[in-house]
Amino acid sequence: MTTTTVRTRASHGTDALDLGAHAPKPTALTAGQTEASATVWDDARITTGLWECTQGHLT
């Protein structure tokens, strides 16, 4: 039997979660659009987290 330890992080009140610095969004169709994100859980198959971007159009 193989045991795997996966780091997880519980976040309550996600509006206060630090997503890090905004960076230019590579898929932006609107000039100057930025994004920031934080991974909450990653098991090498599925990654979940929080993401936000500034107003605009993207692909």
The pLDDT tens digits along the chain (59 residues) read 677 676 666 667 777 788 999 999 999 999 999 999 998 888 888 888 899 999 999 99
- Spatial separation of the C-alpha atoms in residues 4 and 47, rounded to whole Å: 16
**What integer pLDDT is reported at residue 43 of this predicted model?**
86
How many C-alpha atoms does 26 have within 13 Å on its Cβ side? 0
- Spatial separation of the C-alpha atoms in residues 43 and 8, rounded to whole Å: 9
Residue 2 within any structural domain of the chain = no
DSSP state of 16: G
State which residues form the domain around 30: 21-53
**What integer pLDDT is reported at residue 18 of this predicted model?**
86
Residue 10 within any structural domain of the chain = no
**What integer pLDDT is reported at residue 44 of this predicted model?**
85
Domain count, the chain: 1
**Strand ranges, E, within 1-59:** 23-24, 34-42, 47-53
